[in-house]
Chains A and B, each alone.
With several copies, the nearest count.
Chain A
Amino acid sequence: MAELVSLAEGVAELVHDGDTVALEGFTHLIPVAAGQEIIRQGRRGLTLVRMTPDIVYDQLIGAGCAARLVFSWGGNPGVGSLHRFRDAVENAWPGPIEIEEHSHAGMANRYVAGASGLPFAVLRGYVGTDIAKHTTTVSTVTCPFTGEVLTAVAALNPDVAVIHAQRADRRGNVQMWGITGVQKEAVLAARRSLVTVEEIVDELDPRPDAVVLPGWVVSAVAHVPRGAHPSYAQGYYDRDNDYYQAWDPISRDREAFAKWLDEVTA
């Protein structure tokens, strides 16, 4: 059964220097508050995994938490580039960052393999592209029935997965609904997991399009209202599009970012 903890406790217990950490959330329910707590606690040398690194990963990278990034699309959706990410890749600032990139289909299947206890997954993907040239986690496999050669991707099993959900009950059962992306797979693939939630309730009443993760597959749950801001939590608050716009000038400028970082870690 998942432990109910504060966000600070959860990050302290579950996220360690050098860990492979997946913060997932596909546009919706991005665990931004948890990411900023990782910054606040000064984690270093993380391998950050995420299909769509956006503002929260720009912040983690700019703050120097990441040694490595595994991803499939890194941008500020609807706005443009992630400039802290680009500064790290293009200029090794604040330090060098190793990158391993995939397609969405590949990343999704890597999590599926991880969640399924398999060392790899099979897909039709990457063929004819230059992506596979720069990673060792894409290969091929031959169908034993037809002889067809297909693409294989290595399983992803992060040390810890961090997600944000709408609700949990007091026993740590977690419920999220709307666009739920790859979060179930990330939690089931990870050795440990931290879920931040908008609300702790007595009873999880059924909801359309809901995904429930039973408490016995979650390590800890922390009550963090607005923990997905500036992304959205369906039924709680909308996406703060202004924040995404406002992030662009902060991210573009090392000094503006340093000031932002001082405020967050103060």
Chain B
Amino acid sequence: MTWDADEIMTVTAARSLAGRTSCFVGIGLPSTAANLARRTSNPDLALIYESGAIGAKPTVLPLSIGDGELGETADAVVSVPEIFNYWLQPGRVDVGFLGAAQVDRLGNINTTVIGDYAAPAVRLPGAGGAPEIAASCRETIVIVRHRPRILVDRLAFVTSLGFGDGPGHRAALGLRGRGPIRLITDLGVLEPDPETCELTLASIHPGVTVDEVRAATGWPLAVRADLAVTAPPTPAELTALRSLTRGGSVA
């Protein structure tokens, strides 16, 4: 079976949820990947949505984080204050799965504004649940399409913290979660350098060249010595993904 760039991105993201107990699912691409994980690598994964659905098992891909399907299939539905205070904040969720308008080389996320805050070039939707998902989940995984205007050197506005200014910054701020352990794009997978926390290329998707990835990255991208090639999507993964997205794509 052939597949496109978005498909290998989503499949790769879904694979990285294998072995996890619980995932706090952001709106958009993360939701597709998390739902695919439940159909492939991790049927027992507890999906948690900021709308209050815990253990949602939607049969069709939700279009929003508050679809009726989420509540109706969940193990429990709680209030929005409770989902943040009792479930996210104490650090009991394994993985936070986030999208972004922009990510910088240290994994920080902007979903607020492009340009000056007071007189913005582009006003984005804002923070939503992301700042606390990024702060409090044991680990976070970020999924974005790989474009120079998305993977940028430095953010003008930090909506959600990755590694902040670099090593030690999260700990100094008292954050408990490890931060972004992986950035998954339609070209490859970036992982933080253990020393500098800078996102470096760990894996490229089949058919993609390192130069293409570099050209699509807004900073001089370092490449790991042990650079891997992502395993292509299996027919089972693609079948599951396509049956999931047949109802409509997610913005």
Chain A residues near B (Cβ < 8 Å): 1, 26-28, 51-52, 71-75, 77-82, 85-86, 89-90, 101-105, 108-109, 111-112, 115-118, 123-131, 134, 148-149, 173, 178-182, 184-185, 188, 204, 209, 211-214, 216-217, 232, 234, 238-239, 241
Contacts and interface: CB of A to CB of B under 8 A. Distances in A.
Contacts of B86: 115-116, 184-185, 188
Given A103-B129, A178-B72, A185-B81, A117 B89 contact: yes
A109 B84 contact: yes
B88 A105 contact: yes
Interface of B: 21-22, 27, 44, 46, 50-55, 63-68, 70-72, 75-77, 79-81, 84-86, 88-92, 112, 117, 119-132, 135-136, 157-161, 164, 169-170, 173-175, 248, 250-251
Main secondary structure on chain B at its contact with chain A?
loop
A128 B130 CA distance: 13
Given A90-B120, A108-B84, A131 B127 contact: yes
A72 B128 contact: yes
Contact of A28 (B66, B90, B121): B66
B106 to A, nearest CB: 11
Nearest to A124: B89
B52 A124 contact: no
Given A124-B132, A129-B127, 5 more contacts: A73-B125, A101-B112, A103-B132, A108-B85, A241-B63
A28 B65 contact: no
Nearest to B159: A129
A105 B84 contact: yes
3 shortest interchain CB distances as A-B pairs = A27-B66, A117-B90, A73-B128
A123 B63 CA distance: 29
Contacts of A52: 128
B58 to A, nearest CB: 13
B126 A72 contact: yes
A127 B81 contact: no
B131 A105 contact: yes
B68 A232 contact: yes
B64 A115 contact: no
Contacts of B81: 108-109, 111-112, 182, 185
Contacts of A112: 81, 85
A179 B46 contact: no
B68 A127 contact: no
Given A104-B128, A115-B86, A126-B131, A179 B71 contact: yes
